[in-house]
Amino acid sequence: KYEKIWLFFGIGSLFVFLAVLGVGAFAQGTQPPSCLTTIDPEKVDQTPPFDKPGLVKTGENEYQLNIVASAFAYTPNQVEIPKGAKVTINVATKDVIHGFEMAGTNVNMMVEPGYVSSYTQTFDKVGEYVILCNEYCGAGHHLMTAKVKVV
């Protein structure tokens, strides 16, 4: 008799667990963090500004940093930014979902195929920032890094 109760309890907690998982996935899926523009993932290399990735000056102290993510690297993977610059970072992926996290800043984006993820950040402090991929994207995921130097 007690076994039945335990069985019921076990199945019940399994359902609760699945529900939490499902709600979590759904909630994340409904709010892609910063997707503004769409892009053909197969033509990222031909689509401006990603045909010439890198830092572009757009105004007084204002820049655009265009980065292409692909398994398992960012292009470019080393960028120098002048101190005080207001930088709009645009990232597009050529293949799967990648992450774009800049350690020590508020920059933390999910990069989904078909979308350009953007975030504007002002760099007031001189230093080095490491960019990491925080979405598992395959065997080389842990190797996927880049560096931004504020000089």
Binding positions for ligand CUA, rule: CB under 6 A: 72, 98-99, 133, 135-137, 141, 144
Q: Which helix (H) or strand (E) holds 109?
A: strand 108-111
Closer CB to ligand CUA, 53 or 99, in the complex:
99
- Provide φ and ψ at 83, rounded to 5°: -60, 135
Residue 148's SS3 state is strand
Q: How far is the CB of 107 from ligand CUA (least distance, A)?
A: 15
Question: Least distance from C-beta 71 to ligand CUA, angstroms?
Answer: 6
Amino acid at 110: M
Cβ proximity of 84 and 123 under 8 Å: yes
Helix, strand, or coil here: 147?
strand
- Distance, CA of 111 to CA of 107 (rounded, Å): 12
Nearer residue to ligand CUA within complex by CB, 98 or 150: 98
Asked whether 118 and 50 are in contact (CB, 8 A), the reply is: no
Q: Least distance (Å) from ligand CUA to the CB of residue 68? A: 12
| Residue of 74, 75, 71 whose CA lies nearest to 95 | 71
Quote the least distance from Cβ 77 to ligand CUA, whole Å.
12
Q: Supply the minimum distance, in Å, between the C-beta of residue 116 and ligand CUA.
A: 16
Nearer to ligand CUA, 63 or 129 (CB): 129
